[in-house]
Chains A and B, each alone.
Chain A
Amino acid sequence: MTRTRRRNALWAFAAAACVVATSAGADENARLVVNGEIEMVTRTAAPAHLNGALPDIRSGWTFRTTETQALQIDDFDNPGMIFVDKAMDAWNSVEGSEGKSCSACHGNPMESMKGVRAVYPKWNEAAGEVRTLVMQINDCRVKRMGAKPWKYTGADMAAMEALISVPSRGMAVNVAIDGPAAETWAKGKEIYYTRYGQLELSCANCHEQNYDNMIRADHLSQGQINGFPVYRLKNTKLNTAHARFKGCVRDTRAETFKPGSDEFIALELYVASRGNGLSVEAPSVRN
């Protein structure tokens, strides 16, 4: 790909005219410090398991325009925080047959949930499965609260995921890929490199081989999920990782997998592991 990259570099000058019109020069070396206090690692050495597939790993934030980047610098400007407030209400609300709220068991999420987002998806010994944060939230709702599970990619779930992420912001993503999680991880890796659909494109074709290149009007990132759920200016809501995966697979003219499917759970673990070392950023802001 280096060859293509070099040829493209030449072209970049000529393309600047049409490209810059939409992307007001993303500053990939800008530092992200949220609220003047949370220092985010938006670029760092790739984890060893990538075996040099990426020279370094970069948060999706580094690929966005200066204007979009700015929205994540202060929580007052971050539209995603509105949903975090809503989730805080849900956290404190009693629901279901057991007469319990999340806070009944977990108290203040800013204390009790610190570090949680950073290590999910995670092997659950009792259940004998790799669990995403969504699965864990629904497990609590159903088994402990006697409440209905939330839709996997729905607004309630995305907001709760964002709330649980907030106390981990600035902590390094650190999902385990060995031991009992190894099999799921390997499955996720296989999916990541499979060329799906009539366009025969894998995640790697776009996000490993072509990040930093434009594909039509989009500046391709590494497809990292350390910032998920993300608030997107395009649809003005929080978007979950599985909804994003679904959109990307659909765009290869493929039959997608379902949010919450074994395939997407495995893919989430694998993609998360590609970002081991980046900061938890959610809720982040993207275009």
Chain B
Amino acid sequence: MKLSSATLAACLIAKAAAAGGVAPQDVSFAEDGAVAVSLSGMAGDPAAGARIMTTRGKGNCIACHAVTTLADAPFHGEVGPALDGAADRWEEAQLRGIVADSKKTFEGSVMPSFYKTTGYIRPGKGYTGRAAEADPMAPLLSAQEIEDVVAYLMTLKD
């Protein structure tokens, strides 16, 4: 069966809601951009988070950020600051907010918003160059994937 991204988005959102999670449009950001509660309603898995951060079709965080503990994955970028010691600089809620929608913390940031489903200009279907089929579209990362990434970021202490 072929799932459209609309169905997929709906499923993801339904799943998040079912687990007591928060759908992308319902996330509440504090003044400083922080998000207090788990988006999936569950704890994150740091090992899964590390995989998401280094995987191209997922977070692909290392495209822009260097992370010493992920040095095994090749090619770390310099567009964003190195993430070493991120957990010393930020609270968990702030890290969640940065990953979910960085622009709420850093105005106009180059960093993509990973838990957002609408408001794009000419959104595409992945990297095909063709138009996206669904509006709202599936977020770049699911609620649980965000939690996994945040859990990994929380291990980054100097």
Cβ contact of B124, chosen from A4, A213, A216, A254, cutoff 8 A: A254
In contact, B113 and A200 (Cβ under 8 angstroms) = yes
In contact, A198 and B129 (Cβ under 8 angstroms) = no
Residues of chain B in range 119-158 having any CB-CB distance to chain A below 8 Å: 120-132, 137, 140
In contact, A215 and B77 (Cβ under 8 angstroms) = yes
In contact, A198 and B123 (Cβ under 8 angstroms) = yes
In contact, A197 and B63 (Cβ under 8 angstroms) = no
Cβ contact of B68, chosen from A7, A14, A196, A214, cutoff 8 A: A14
Nearest A residue (CB) for B131: A255
In contact, A199 and B129 (Cβ under 8 angstroms) = no
- The interface residues of chain B lying within 8 Å CB-to-CB of A4 are 79-81
In contact, A197 and B81 (Cβ under 8 angstroms) = no
Task: State in angstroms the CA–CA spacing of A216 and B48 once bound together.
Answer: 20
Segment touching B, from A138-146, A174-182, A245-253 = A245-253
Nearest A residue (CB) for B60: A216
Write 19 A-B pairs (CB below 8 A) sorted by A numbering: A8-B78, A14-B82, A195-B121, A197-B124, A198-B137, A198-B140, A199-B112, A200-B120, A205-B110, A216-B62, A216-B63, A216-B76, A217-B74, A250-B129, A253-B126, A254-B124, A255-B125, A255-B129, A255-B131
Nearest CB on A from B83, distance (A): 10
B residues at A contact (CB < 8 Å): 60, 62-64, 66, 68, 71, 74-82, 110, 112-113, 120-132, 137, 140
Nearest CB on A from B94, distance (A): 18
A233 at the interface (CB under 8 A from B): no
Task: State in angstroms the CA–CA spacing of A214 and B66 once bound together.
Answer: 10
Cβ contact of B112, chosen from A18, A198, A250, cutoff 8 A: A198
Nearest B residue (CB) for A3: B81
Nearest CB on A from B110, distance (A): 5
- The interface residues of chain A lying within 8 Å CB-to-CB of B137 are 198
13 extra A-B contacts, CB within 8 A, seeds A198-B140, A255-B130:
A4-B80, A18-B75, A194-B121, A197-B120, A200-B120, A201-B112, A210-B110, A214-B77, A215-B64, A215-B79, A246-B129, A254-B121, A254-B123
- The interface residues of chain A lying within 8 Å CB-to-CB of B121 are 194-197, 200, 254
Nearest CB on B from A204, distance (A): 10
- The interface residues of chain B lying within 8 Å CB-to-CB of A250 are 124, 127-129
Cβ contact of A7, chosen from B76, B81, B120, B123, cutoff 8 A: B81
How many A-B pairs have beta carbons closer than 8 Å: the answer is: 104
- The interface residues of chain A lying within 8 Å CB-to-CB of B76 are 15, 18, 214, 216
In contact, A214 and B75 (Cβ under 8 angstroms) = yes
Task: State in angstroms the CA–CA spacing of A200 and B113 once bound together.
Answer: 8
A66 at the interface (CB under 8 A from B): no
- The interface residues of chain B lying within 8 Å CB-to-CB of A255 are 122-125, 129-132
In contact, A11 and B81 (Cβ under 8 angstroms) = yes
In contact, A197 and B123 (Cβ under 8 angstroms) = yes
Nearest A residue (CB) for B140: A198
- The interface residues of chain B lying within 8 Å CB-to-CB of A205 are 110
Nearest CB on B from A246, distance (A): 7
In contact, A198 and B124 (Cβ under 8 angstroms) = yes
Residues of chain A in range 217-269 having any CB-CB distance to chain B below 8 Å: 217, 220, 246, 249-256
